[in-house]
Chains A and B, each alone.
Chain A
Amino acid sequence: MVEPPTDAADAADAEVIAASVDDGRAFATIYDRHAGVVFRFLVRRVGRDVADELLGDTFRIAFERRRSFDLDRPSARPWLYGIATNLVARHRRSEGRRLRAVGRLAAERSTDGDDERVAAVVDAGERWPAVVAAIADLPAGERDALLLYAWEELSYEEIGTALDIPVGTVRSRINRARRRLRELAEANGQERIAT
């Protein structure tokens, strides 16, 4: 078992990555700090089986590109999200399957059971098939930004770092996605009134 250098424990990610350029073993600290978060992100996006595969790829790519990490950024997390997002792009089919599975789950949850979480999703669960379709239809860049924002709770600035785009572009992508979801909700509301 390889132990990271002990003095790395308190160092910012940027320092650790800088150290890992000469001594690759330091990179273990980056893995230890972020692998769990990256793994859960991948499970959300592409499901468990593909996530297993992409977790290792994410960190191997990160290690190979560690020299290009912007050392002015204290945290490596947005950068790792970006690498993982690029890998997700190669698995659109798994992503679609995952979204549909979550859609079915939401629909089931909204019709049975009575715990609090269910109550919270009932409303959205009813129109979930339409929401799933809308998310699946979004241009990839909008979907990536939207889900980093909604599911991973990254700030616009962090999303910009992750996707390597200006913050203004993040804002416009998320606003476009937001508009589309709102139109959908309004259309659904009108249907309900009409029937």
Chain B
Amino acid sequence: MTDEREREHEPEHDPIEPLRRLRPDELQDAATNDPWILAQERDRLMSMIEHLPVEPKTAWRAPAIYPRLGYQDERAAIEFLTRAFGFRERVEARMDGGDHVLAWLEYGDGVVMIGHVEHEMHNINSPREIGGATCMLNVTVEDVDAHHDRAVAAGARITMELNDAFYGERRYEADDLEGNRWHFGEPLDSVKRRRGSD
């Protein structure tokens, strides 16, 4: 496709070049994908395909607060988080800039944005760079025992073994590849119900 272009027109004399630079997202901040619109339309499409009732239009929207994590190797991080912790990437929303990617991972109604470390504009560091995490990420899961076993099988470093906490939660903690601490918990009454029905 490029050789055709070069053969026909030297770029510097091509009057289409200025137009190329005037592409809307060259003028505004790069148009990021809207993962919620993309997710919502995906759900609607699949509902149509499977003849299921369409979810209300508000099914997907951005939570008021959601974190963006920076990794030195964000591709490895995405692979690990999906495999070990069962997060699902909104693959339709991934922004692939060649060197780096920006991705949205969801779990239940929660979402995290995963990207490369960014020191200029946003000051997002990896725990691996600065020698410690600055936050812990809390995730509520449906079956914390199964979740734990999956993480162990995937080689996650468990930093707190499964235990029943006094405040009514069964929990464990694990680090991801670059040292972010993830806390996984299930309410104890849910654990009881689950075990009762086994």
Contacts and interface: CB of A to CB of B under 8 A. Distances in A.
Interface of A: 1-2, 24-25, 27-28, 31-33, 35-36, 39-40, 43-44, 52, 55-56, 59-60, 63, 98, 102, 105-106, 109, 117, 120-121, 123-125, 128, 131, 135, 146, 149-151, 153-158, 174, 177-178, 181-182, 184-185
A55 B38 contact: yes
Interface residues of B, number: 37
Contacts of B91: 32-33
Contact of A28 (B4, B33, B42): B42
B41 A36 contact: no
- Interface residue SS majority, chain A: helix
Given A56-B45, A117-B26, A150-B20, 14 more contacts: A28-B45, A31-B45, A35-B92, A44-B25, A59-B41, A59-B45, A63-B45, A63-B49, A98-B24, A105-B27, A109-B27, A150-B23, A151-B23, A185-B15
Given A32-B92, A105-B27, A39 B46 contact: no
B48 interface: yes
Contacts of A121: 18, 21-22, 26-27
Given A40-B31, A43-B31, A98-B24, A28 B46 contact: yes
Contacts of A124: 18-19, 21-22
A36 B50 contact: no
B22 A102 contact: yes
B154 interface: no
Contacts of B9: 178
B150 interface: no
A63 B46 CA distance: 10
A134 B137 CA distance: 53
B163 to A, nearest CB: 30
Contacts of B28: 105
B111 to A, nearest CB: 14
Interface in B1-24: 1, 4, 9, 14-16, 18-24
Nearest to A156: B4
A36 B20 contact: no
From A40, A109, A149, A184, name the one whose CB has the most chain B CB atoms within 10 angstroms. A40
